[in-house]
Structure formats: C-alpha cells, structure tokens
Chain A
Amino acid sequence: MNKPQHNTSSPAKGAPKGAAPADAPAIPNDDGFLDLHYSMLRIRRVEERLLQVFSEGKIPGFIHVSIGQEAVAVGVCSCLTPADTIFTTHRGHGHTLAKGMQLKPFMAEIFGRDSGACHGNSGSMHVASSEAGVGGANGIVGAGLPISLGSAFASAFKGEDSVTAVFFGDGASNQGTFHESMNLAALWNLPIVFVCENNGWAQFTSQKSYMKIDGIARRADSYGMPGVQVDGEDVLRVRESMREAVARARSGNGPTLIECKTYRWFGHYAGDPQKYRPAADVEQSRKTDCIANFEKFLLDSDLADRAQLDAVEARLRGEINEAIAFAEAAPSAPKGQFLNDVYADAFRKDSLS
C-alpha cells in the first residue's frame, strides 16, 4: 500500500536554487532518493535509541518521539537550503535532524550536557541550531507559528530569497495563533510554508472529537492561500508538494498550507500508556511504515539493493553509537550555568542567583 510514485519529471519549475544536493542524481534515475532514505532512517534509529536510553533513566525529563512521521520531516526539509529556517514543535527531533543539525550537539543537549547546542538549557523540547537554521522546537502548542512569521518577514525585509517552514500538529490548528499567522502571512505574501502534521491526535484526544471538519488544508482557502492535503507517509509526495510551495514562497508569491496525513506510532510522550487510544488504532498506525514502503520502492525500482540498505544501517549504528557515547561522556554544565544566557549582558548576574 501507499507505494510511492517515482516522479521522473524534472524538479518543479522555479525550484529553489541550491536545493541540491537532494536533487543531484547520485545514481542514474535517482532524484536524491538515497538521501531521503538515509535521512528518514536516521531519524527512526535515533529516536529508537532515545526511547531506549530514556527507559534506562539516562535522559532527565520527558521526550516526544515522531516515529512513523519521518516522511514529513524529510520530504519537507529536503526542499530547504541551509539559509532557510524551520520552526518546530515538542515533537521536533525529526525536523531538526532532517534540517541538518549535527547529531552530537543534538544528543548532548538531550542528555543535558554543556556541549549540547543549548548548553543543557533546552533539553529535547526546545532544541535549536542557528547553524542549521532551526529556530527552535517549542513547548507551547501553536506558539511557533507567529515566530515563524518574523523569520519570513526578515527574509523579505532584507531582500533575501530564503524561506521559512513551520511545523505544527493538527491540535495546533485550533489555536488562535494558527489563524492569526495564516491571515498575516497571506496578507503580506510572506515567504513561508505552513506544514501541518496531522497524526490524528492532539495529545490524548482524537481529531474527530475536537474538530467538525476533517481536512485542515481546507482552512487555507479562508485566508487566501493555497492549501493541499498530501499523504504524509509518502516522502516523495510530501517533497513534491513542498517543492511547489517553496518555489511559490521563494519567488515572492506567498505562503502555502500543506497538511500531511500521518500516523504517530507511539504515545504523546515516551512511556505514555495510551489508555485513551484503542489498541486497533495503534496497530493500524504501524501498518503504514513510510520507511519500509520507501525501501520497497527503492528495491523494486532497482535504485538500491539490499546490501546498500544494510550498509546504511551499519553507518547509522556507528554514527548514533558515537553520538550517544559523546553525550554520555560529556561534562554537565558548570554550576550556575543557567544564569549565563538570561540576558545578553550580565547586568545583575549576582542578584539573579
């Protein structure tokens, strides 16, 4: 089911400059397919390891994994350049990694180490990377939308052709910030793509029980922007829609709402017993595996053989082991580190303690 369609046509007209290397053919007939596969599998394997080390008590706090939703993160971010910016959510590991954040500072942050990207101030839920164009995960549902407007505004203000993408869930589409941001982005033609990951669950509540309508993409029309619903389990379809949306944004034609229908394999948070969710729903969600589907497509189309895919697994094992070892061995933040970045200047560091 959901077999990805090999899109043999050339990249969408007006495709972003510098969208390569994802677009550069690595092997004949390849349209960045192996990169897509690697990127999706990397997220899956990283989060599986995170679940494992979390259950071993090695990560403080709590984490939210996106296993099952990798095709959205990768399909979207494969259309972005390092100069582009994303804003993401509490379930943001996948987006962050797909956008190009290095694994070691990512992992060290989740472990709360000083060498983490945010010096241990953020943890899993607020990871950011200025280097990779990740303007931050966010612990408040729907809060990233207004901030992403500013990033897009700054691109337009400076006359740059960079674009911004903001991820949010189906639950966030009922926050006022969603409506305010969609309206303003459309009104000002901001270079932004709104990416709604509709996994059917707003924390512990199913979409049917909190929304009269089914398709969130329909809401785009009421703000005067295009809205599309795509199969978020199909990385190529996500990428195709995103390419179009990015081209539109980059050429000054304003925002797009892309609703990606996807499945959350696990609970809201790691360890969530999911008492609110019928077992059949969990089972159903796991029947749709964006990565397994894509691997089948690669094998069936002779774009990769089993040995190649195994090599990717081996490479990832090494990469992830190394990052985990780095994070575990990394020193904690020095005492009082939390006072360092409250303000740009340290005007009352003494009295803050």
Chain B
Amino acid sequence: MKEIRYIKAINEALHEEMARDETVFVIGEDVGAPGGAFGGTRGLLQAFGERRVRDTPISESAIVGLALGAAMKGLRPVVEIMFADFLPVCMDQIVNQIAKTRFMFGGQFSAPLVIRAPGGAGLNAGPQHSQSLEAWFAHVPGLKVVMPATPADAKGLLKSAIRDNDPVLVLEHKALYATSGTIPEGEYLVPLGKADVRRAGNDVTIVTASRMVLQTLEAAETLAGQGIDAEVIDLRSLTPLDKDAIFKSVAKTSRLVIAHEAVKSFGIGAEIAAMISEEMIDILDAPITRVGAPFSPVPFSQEGDYLPNASDVVHAVQKVMAY
C-alpha cells in the first residue's frame, strides 16, 4: 500500500491506461502542457505526445462529440470537462448522442468513452462551479455514472471505466482532490457497479457517495459514541447501482438514511428510498430519511451553512432511531 492524493491517483490511472492501451487518448481544455485545471493530466503530454494528449478550444460540444465519433471507430477517448457544471453545455451530445448511440443503431456501434468531470462544492466556487448533478445523468439510460470518494476508488474506477465498453461519466469531487489515502501498489481495478461497505454496523444503514462518505463516516463515529451502530455504504457507482448491497444491509438493519451533497429534491436519495419502499417496506422499523442540500443553488458566501454535513447525518439517524 502507498499513500497518495486523490488527484494523483487519477493521474496514475491515466498514465497506466495510456501505457497499456494505444487506443486511449485524452482530450479537453488545458489537458496538455498545463496538465489540467486541477493537475489530473499532468505529465501525460511529455509521456505520450500531442497525438494522444489533445488540448482543445473551449468547445465542450465539439470535444464530447469528437470523443463519441472516435469511440464509434474503436478508439477509447478520455474527456476532461473542467467542471461538472459545464456538462450541461454539451448535454445534447451526452444525453441524445452518446447515451443512445448503441441503442439507436441496434448495437452496430458502441461508445466506449469516459468523461471525467469534477463536481461538488466546498471550495467557495459559487453557483456555477459547485453543483452535484449526478442524478440527471443517472436518469439517462445508456450512461454509466461513478462517483469515487477515495484515492483508491478514484484510480480503480477510472481504470475500469476506461476499459468498459459503454460510456462512463466519472464524477470526481474537486474538494477531494487534495485529500490523501492509501492505494494498493501496482495494478488493480475497482469494478463498476459494486458498492463498498465502509463501516459495518447493525442498527441503521446509511447510503452515501462521493465526498459525503467522509462526513457520513465522521457521523458514524459520533453515533457509535451514543451507542448507535451504523453501517455506511459507499455506492461508488450510481449506474450500475449495487441494489444487492443496499438491500442486504437494510434487511439487516431495518432502518435507512440516504445522505448526499446534491439538492435533496429529486435526487438519488429519492430513487433509493423508492426502491426500498417498493420492495421491502414491510421490513422497515422507521421512515426512510434523506439528507441533502436545500433547494437553492450553491451559494458563494454561506457555503458552509448550505452544505449537508456530519451533524445533519447524526440528526437524521437519531430521528430514525427514535421512531
């Protein structure tokens, strides 16, 4: 094992996959000599040259559309979109084109491409550079969506995404880029569609993802001090969703809290709550509870008040336990 920062783990994944597979290329704004706005593509230009590391104009639709056309012809593009908030700029290419290519054409073409984009708040980046839009993409058949919370998953999921035969949206978290963690030495993969039980527990299941995993683990420690044994499930992938892991845990605990940084309304929490309600409501000992952001854009000056945190999770769990 070795200690590494989240952004460096992403960078390692790109280096390794580009060395392994000649058809992989990286494309995006400032991904060449600058090494990406956050350093994710650092050193790739020197290692692999201009042919495979493509700096582009600020033209998100052209970048993402180009990736699709190249993927249809057998290449494996890895696109960097500088902020997840810019994904809506090229939404047609993602939702109407990439997601539907394999389907519309009856399997004649597929779209094995990756779009990396940092979402999330925590850096006071304001309303247009801080959003968590994952639910939009998880709602679109044809896309796969992953949200790594740790350096180990950031590397392992990205490598799997690059090797996957479907389009994968890797939603990194910009406030996690500077965080550190341990990863295995050498080659490893984290499979798409597999959640990780970050903390085993018997009293309540907390399902979460991305940076909210950190707050949830902190909350779980606080709760442990109060005699509440929480199980924390890090989804890692939204599509494919590891329903089995969630169901198995809820079958054990009979209580469910879902915590995410995105706006609570119409978020992934609603989907998971509905799934459990439909399929195992009889087992529940308390109403399912969600923790999420208020229905407002991410503010610049009151970001701390706005974002859901560990104490919000603690309160939600206490409420569920007291029911």
Contacts and interface: CB of A to CB of B under 8 A. Distances in A.
Interface in A302-353: 338, 340-345, 347-348, 351-352
Contacts of B11: none
Contact of B69 (A121, A128, A149, A340): A149
B71 interface: yes
Interface in B52-101: 56-57, 59, 61-75, 77, 92-93, 96-97, 101
A343 B67 CA distance: 18
A85 B70 CA distance: 12
**Interface size grouping (class) on chain B:** 35 or more
B102 interface: yes
A135 B108 CA distance: 9
Given A146-B61, A151-B72, A342-B102, 17 more contacts: A119-B106, A119-B107, A135-B109, A136-B101, A143-B93, A146-B65, A146-B93, A147-B68, A147-B93, A150-B66, A150-B69, A154-B73, A157-B70, A158-B73, A183-B57, A184-B62, A344-B110
A128 B66 CA distance: 18
A337 B61 CA distance: 31
A120 B64 CA distance: 27
Interface string A129-153: 1100001101110010111111111
Contacts of A138: 97
A146 B141 contact: no
24 contacts: A118-B108, A121-B103, A126-B104, A128-B108, A128-B109, A135-B72, A140-B96, A143-B97, A146-B93, A147-B68, A149-B62, A149-B65, A150-B66, A150-B70, A150-B75, A151-B70, A152-B69, A153-B75, A158-B73, A180-B62, A342-B141, A342-B142, A344-B102, A352-B141
A94 interface: no
Interface in B110-131: 110, 112
B266 interface: no
Nearest to B52: A157
Contact of B103 (A150, A152, A176, A342): A342
B165 A147 contact: no
Contacts of A183: 57, 59, 62
- Nearest 3 A/B pairs, CB to CB: A146-B65, A150-B69, A118-B106
B97 A118 contact: no
Best-surrounded residue of A87, A138, A187, A347 (most CB of chain B within 10 A):
A347
B142 A343 contact: yes
Interface in A235-284: none
Contacts of B299: none
Contact of A116 (B106, B142, B241, B243): B106
B193 A347 contact: yes
Contacts of B144: 343
A236 B27 CA distance: 39
A122 B105 contact: yes
A158 B144 CA distance: 27
A126 B108 CA distance: 12
A345 B33 CA distance: 36
Contact of B104 (A122, A164, A187): A122
